[in-house]
Amino acid sequence: MSVGLVSALFVAVALVAVGAFVATWRKDLTAGLAGLPLMFGGAGVAFAGAARFSAAGDPKIFGQEVAAIVAVAALALVALGVGIAGRGISR
Amino acid sequence: MDSLHAIGFYVSAAISIGGGLLVAFLPGRGARGLALGVSGVGITGLYASLSADFAGLVSLVCFAGCALLIAAPRYRTVESTAGLAWRQAGAIAAAGLFAVLAYAAFRGDFVSATYTGGEVGAAAIGRLLFAHDALTAEAMGALVVVALVGATAAWRARDRGR
């Protein structure tokens, strides 16, 4: 059993597709926001996998940096979406 | 990658994808938030298997935040105006997206190339943005701030007009 770039990309693709599915399937748009971190997580896994299995020289931290930034961006987007959705409840 | 890491990778993949599917189908905010947290744990395991421990740690914290936000009881429900047929079409489109990207991942030809652009990393990008192209970066920042302030002002003006 081994893991390569194709395996990492396949899992990343599956996460992106599941995130897109969550975003489209939920009738409640605010609940559909939960698809965003999944899609961004898939992108981060693709970056981390490409960095892990790339032939370029060390240190291979650029993919990890992008993955971390993408995770923070996902949190910010979900917070923004929930904030906009919650507008009008309490001022 | 040895067998132990490979097993961890595939188990984490199953947990993350399964958690994501649960987010789509579970009723109730709390259950969906919990499923999103489980999916985040799986993605953190993926990062750890790919030797990206720091990214995994950041991802775990961010997924915990997202799960708390999704599970929170205070936000307002915004019902989509799209009917069931459109949502089913969206689900089929997501499956099509998966098929296309998976085909690209399997059939893609990753060539070996030599990158001669110098160091790649956050420090190099920072030097580029704040030393070499400082004026451009500041102009872009100012443009974004003006756009956000303008959008906020327009939003508030429209709210007062209602």
Percent over 70 (pLDDT), chain B: 88
Contact: A21, B95; criterion CB under 8 Å? yes
Whether pLDDT at B73 is above 80? no
- Count of CB atoms situated within 10 Å of the CB of B139: 11
Q: Which residue has the higher pLDDT, B18 or B4?
A: B18
Alpha helices in chain B (DSSP H): 3-25, 29-49, 53-71, 84-107, 122-127, 134-161
Query: pLDDT tier at B87 (50, 70, 90 boundaries)?
Result: confident
So what's the pLDDT on residue B115?
67
Substitution target in B46, B70, B152 with the highest count of A β-carbons within 10 Å is B46
- Over residues A30-54, the mean pLDDT reads 89
Contact: B20, A22; criterion CB under 8 Å? yes
So what's the pLDDT on residue A91?
45
C-alpha to C-alpha distances, A4 to A40, B60, B82, B96, nearest whole angstrom:
21, 23, 40, 24
For residue A80, the chain B residues in CB contact (below 8 A) are none
Whether pLDDT at B88 is above 60? yes
- Count of CB atoms situated within 10 Å of the CB of B35: 24
Please give the structure tokens belonging to residue B85.
């047929």
- Over residues B13-39, the mean pLDDT reads 92
Contact: A3, B10; criterion CB under 8 Å? yes
Looking at chain B from residue 9 to 48, which residues have their Cβ under 8 Å from any Cβ of chain A? 9-10, 13, 16-17, 20-21, 23-24, 29, 32, 36, 39-40, 43, 46-47
Percent over 70 (pLDDT), chain A: 86
Please tell me if residue A25 touches chain B, with a CB cutoff of 8 Å: yes
Contact: A34, B80; criterion CB under 8 Å? no
Among A8-17, B99-108, B136-145, whose mean pLDDT is lowest?
B99-108
Helix, coil or strand: residue B79: strand
Query: pLDDT tier at A88 (50, 70, 90 boundaries)?
Result: low
Please give the structure tokens belonging to residue B16.
């993350």
pTM tops 0.80: no
Whether pLDDT at B16 is above 70? yes
Contact: B80, A74; criterion CB under 8 Å? no
